[in-house]
Amino acid sequence: MDLNQLSQSVIEGNAGEVERLTKEFLSGGIEPKDVLNSGLISAMNVVGRKFKDGEYFLPEVLLSARAMKVGMEILKPELSRTGVEPVGKVVIGTVKGDLHDIGKNIVASMLEGAGFQVIDLGVDVSADKFINAVRENSANILGMSALLTTTMVSMKDVIQSLQENNLRDSVEVIVGGAPLSEKYAKDIGADGYAPDATSAATLCKEIVQ
């Protein structure tokens, strides 16, 4: 079984093939993590490169994103299979003005797989929405994702808002997304940064230990 076939189907935006192949690989005993990393995520990197090089335009990127989502929906229950009490609560979302959610959804699935209860606020999440969700759920961790250099700046406002609402000491803030870095996370006053979904799960586990 060749995971490149799956990657190629994501790159071509062929959701039907992605559905068929993802199911086939899982039932064939391939690890869900390998299907995710080598089949789906690697494909989006290629799509990103094609978009940057002007070979792909938004419609092609959207088709690939949609195909990726189909694969993710099938993988999600496999990644989240756990059966133990939640080890902590994480509120997660993509920041205001930003509609990218593929990476955030993978992080959320990994966290569920690691035993966390995840409250996913979706995309384009305002500071108020983050604050209310942290308060209402007594979350241990707030996770923010951003994929655009123009939207990542609003993470700082959310942290500021946590302070103004006397919630900063009760919640650990972690951030991630392609344009971010460890340094940026420090500069805005976040408690942690994770470059990918696996490190995000490791980081959250360290936080609640």
Q: Rule CB under 6 A: which residues touch ligand B1M?
A: 41, 44-45, 47-48, 51-52, 58, 61-62, 65, 92, 97-104, 106-107, 143-145, 147-150, 174-179, 194, 196-197, 200
CB 123 within 8 A of CB 98: yes
CB 89 within 8 A of CB 116: yes
Choose between 32 and 103: whose C-beta lies nearer to ligand B1M.
103
Shortest reach from residue 17's CB to ligand B1M, in Å: 18
Question: Tokens 């250099």 appear where?
Answer: 149
Choose between 49 and 81: whose C-beta lies nearer to ligand B1M.
49
Shortest reach from residue 92's CB to ligand B1M, in Å: 6
Choose between 83 and 181: whose C-beta lies nearer to ligand B1M.
181
Choose between 97 and 189: whose C-beta lies nearer to ligand B1M.
97
The count of C-alpha atoms lying within 13 angstroms of the C-alpha of 170, restricted to the half-sphere facing its C-beta, is 15
Nearest CA among 136, 150, 74 for reference residue 105: 74
The count of C-alpha atoms lying within 13 angstroms of the C-alpha of 57, restricted to the half-sphere facing its C-beta, is 1
